[in-house]
Chain A
Amino acid sequence: MAGVTIENLRKSYGDIEVMHGVDLNIEDGEFVVFVGPSGCGKSTLLRMIAGLEEVTSGTVAIGDQVVNDVAPSKRGVAMVFQTYALYPHMTVFKNMAFGLMQAKTPEDEINRRVTQAAEILQITDYLDRSPRNLSGGQRQRVAIGRAIVRDPEVFLFDEPLSNLDAALRVQTRLEIKRLHERLQSTMIYVTHDQVEAMTLADKIVVLRDGYIEQVGSPIELYTRPANQFVAGFIGSPQMNFFDADDCNNANASGNITGVRPEHLTQVKSKGLISGKLELVEQMGEFALVHLSTPKGAMFSAKMPLPPTEKLGETLEFNANSDDLIHLFDPQSGLRISE
């Protein structure tokens, strides 16, 4: 068991720098999720921890040891790939045992560990099958099992659920969470899906263009986003942003006002924001209404019931509480703390 410490980590491909001096401290046993839009460098960061990408400068340490020049297999990490990366010509058992065989582990030890991992993941029945005879969910479990048998200090997941269908994704997400509860290992998980990030993480790392935008617990990121990018990225539907002259926020003083759709309530009198009704999406549990501000910017609000007004009519909204109104600097995008 070990934490991961990253200091001033940079990565360049030729002249193009893609990671710009990242510092990050991951505690032992923590479940950390790297999240961000595609191309933000989250996979590159993970692969540098795994040792699959060379570090241009800076250090990666697992436990107390700097592992910059340590071979991937000697770092005590195990990785689960998006495409499973199972060896197609080997049985499930061999797939899981391959790493241990490479390490010249005694045979009874291999058997014990594979059997144990198979029991945890309930794939004991498939041990003699070849990967092509398994469904996507089963394959992903084998891939996770392959990581478990190596008994790593750090688990690395590279978008492991992206190739699964929606129902299976929710189920496997729960299993990964349960696995973490059980093994209490350090786990680093890369995803672009902010729902996965919110539900799984002890700590979320939001990345953009090779910079860390914010590190914090899911609820911190939700309630106190450090900047406009994080505010927009975390939470679904997305947070609404209003220019200072587009809403009735007395405190705005030239800054951008941000309110989440779920924190807006319709009011009769003149409210924080008024909008012309453009579209109503009925979700059953709630109705998501899309509106346009006087200046024409689009925003949305969650309402318990569909509005009685017709399309084109104007609705007034207030934030549920002043705490739920976020202010961001229009130039830097940084949060202005009140």
Chain B
Amino acid sequence: MARRIIASLLLLALVLVWVVPFGGLLITSARSTKHANETGFWTAFQTNEIGYSFKTKGKEAVERIGDDWVIKGNIFDERNAADQDLAAQNNEPKTFDIHGSVARFGSGAANPDVAAPGETIDIRDGQFTLHENGDYTWVFETEYTKSGKTIGVRVAHPPQFGLRNYKRAFADGRIPNALINSFIVTIPATIIPVMIAAFAAYAFSWLQFPGRDLLLGIVIALLVVPLQLAFIPVLSIYANLADWAGDLSASLGWCSGQECDYPAKTFSGLWIAHTAFGLPLAIFLLRNYIAGLPRELMESARLDGASHLQIFTKLVLPLSLPALASYGIFQFLWVWNDLLVALILGPTSDLVLPIEIQKQIGTFKSELERLNASAFISMIVPLIVFLSMQKYFVRGLLAGSVKGG
């Protein structure tokens, strides 16, 4: 009983460790800059007091009412209208409207806590009254000839969410491009190693050939070779290859001058690199699974007249689907999230998502919510992949532990 409770608590803790940051990211990415910067994501669902500075209207809005010169307006409406105009001018998506009620206000941005809504304070010899709904009146005895004044206001702002950050992320074209680049890299870099590894795993399990065990030993030994070790040699191979291909094309007259400078860092280079780095683990995992398929099945198929290739395609592939899928998920996640390999061996102009986001951290340092939107876009893809294939994933992990099925 106690063990079960501990296990449940542990599970709960693990779930929280994953879900809380995820939720934080998602919530922050749907908030405005002001909200994201000033309050934590855990307060996003309650009304928060947030300090704003508003500019009132100035002399252009002065009206003569009775003996007085009066400026009237609504701080929220004016500000929202100005923000929308600015966004429209810059071709940016609609901004978050400020709404809510005035909690306190003061005569300058630095002292917003002077008066309560409905109270009147003295600003530039005028009687300034701010109501809860943002309406203000500013009454002078003599004609007012200056421009507006910045006042500090604490606004009790209700929760507010929107898709502005996502619209902005998509609008500038860099994130969608990176998204497409990531797919271009990831899909072949997942399918190629899985297919090669499946063939290899079958051969290592069910084919007799000289040196089989030695070869398998080498493959498994490659599991422990660190990735970083290969960067410089691989890069120099790619560079030499590009040079060589360029020279060859030039000598054949296929191109001339600058056209012959083929890039060394390409998508196909990334596919090859990810395939090579992924294969040892893929072969190791798939071999374990495929070697565990019942021998009688293969023998039965041989008696039925199936060749090795037919046994592989008609029997082993469909039966290994859970293992293929679970390794496929691993490889997909690893390639999708990879920054290092893509940075060193990938194309320098067509960036993948992790590199793009890494670059945006420099550009949009103060706009956490915008970075979060980009990050969430990059997270949602593996999440969809995982959730849609988790049935296979779980079955693949359990493979061999349960007989039959």
Tell me whether A73 and B319 are in contact (CB under 8 A).
no
Q: Mark B315-328, 1 if CB is under 8 A from A, else 0.
A: 10011000000000
Q: Mark B298-335, 1 if CB is under 8 A from A, else 0.
A: 01111111100010000100110000000000000000
A102 touching B296 in the complex, CB below 8 Å, given contacts A87-B315, A88-B319, A89-B319: no
B124 to chain A, nearest CB (A): 84
Which of B296, B306, B318, B319 is most buried by chain A, counting CB atoms within 10 A of its CB? B296
In the complex, which of the residues B294, B296, B304 contacts A99, with contact meaning CB atoms closer than 8 Å? B304
Report if B404 contacts A (CB, 8 A).
yes
Tell me whether B302 and A73 are in contact (CB under 8 A).
yes
Interface majority SS (helix, strand, loop, mixed), chain B: helix
Report if A117 contacts B (CB, 8 A).
no
Q: In the complex, which residues of chain A have a beta carbon less than 8 angstroms from the beta carbon of B297?
A: 85, 87
Report if A229 contacts B (CB, 8 A).
no
Q: CA A79 – CA B404 in complex, angstroms?
A: 21
Tell me whether B299 and A99 are in contact (CB under 8 A).
no
Q: CA A85 – CA B297 in complex, angstroms?
A: 5
Q: Which residue of A lies closest to B306 (CB)?
A: A102
Tell me whether A78 and B303 are in contact (CB under 8 A).
yes
Tell me whether A98 and B304 are in contact (CB under 8 A).
yes
Tell me whether A52 and B310 are in contact (CB under 8 A).
no
Q: CA A178 – CA B305 in complex, angstroms?
A: 28
Q: In the complex, which residues of chain B have a beta carbon less than 8 angstroms from the beta carbon of A50?
A: 299, 303
Tally of A interface residues using CB under 8 Å? 25
Q: Mark A59-83, 1 if CB is under 8 A from B, else 0.
A: 0000000000001111001110111
Q: In the complex, which residues of chain B have a beta carbon less than 8 angstroms from the beta carbon of A78?
A: 303
Q: CA A1 – CA B372 in complex, angstroms?
A: 75
A132 touching B299 in the complex, CB below 8 Å, given contacts A89-B319, A98-B304: no
In the complex, which of the residues A72, A82, A83, A87 contacts B303, with contact meaning CB atoms closer than 8 Å? A72
Q: CA A52 – CA B206 in complex, angstroms?
A: 13
Q: CA A114 – CA B404 in complex, angstroms?
A: 25
Q: In the complex, which residues of chain B have a beta carbon less than 8 angstroms from the beta carbon of A74?
A: 305
Q: In the complex, which residues of chain B have a beta carbon less than 8 angstroms from the beta carbon of A89?
A: 318-319
Q: CA A51 – CA B304 in complex, angstroms?
A: 12
A81 touching B299 in the complex, CB below 8 Å, given contacts A99-B305, A102-B304: yes
Report if B405 contacts A (CB, 8 A).
yes
Q: CA A88 – CA B318 in complex, angstroms?
A: 10
In the complex, which of the residues B294, B305, B306 contacts A85, with contact meaning CB atoms closer than 8 Å? B294
Given contacts A79-B299, A85-B297, 15 further A-B contacts (CB under 8 A): A51-B302, A52-B302, A72-B303, A73-B302, A73-B304, A73-B305, A73-B306, A77-B303, A79-B303, A85-B296, A85-B299, A87-B315, A98-B306, A99-B305, A132-B405
- Pairs of residues from A and B, 3 with the lowest C-beta to C-beta distance, nearest first: A73-B305, A99-B304, A85-B296
Can you report 26 residue pairs joining A to B where beta carbons are below 8 Å apart?
A50-B299, A73-B303, A73-B304, A74-B305, A77-B303, A79-B300, A79-B303, A81-B299, A81-B300, A83-B294, A83-B296, A84-B296, A85-B294, A85-B296, A85-B300, A87-B297, A88-B319, A89-B319, A98-B301, A102-B304, A102-B305, A102-B306, A102-B310, A103-B305, A132-B405, A146-B300
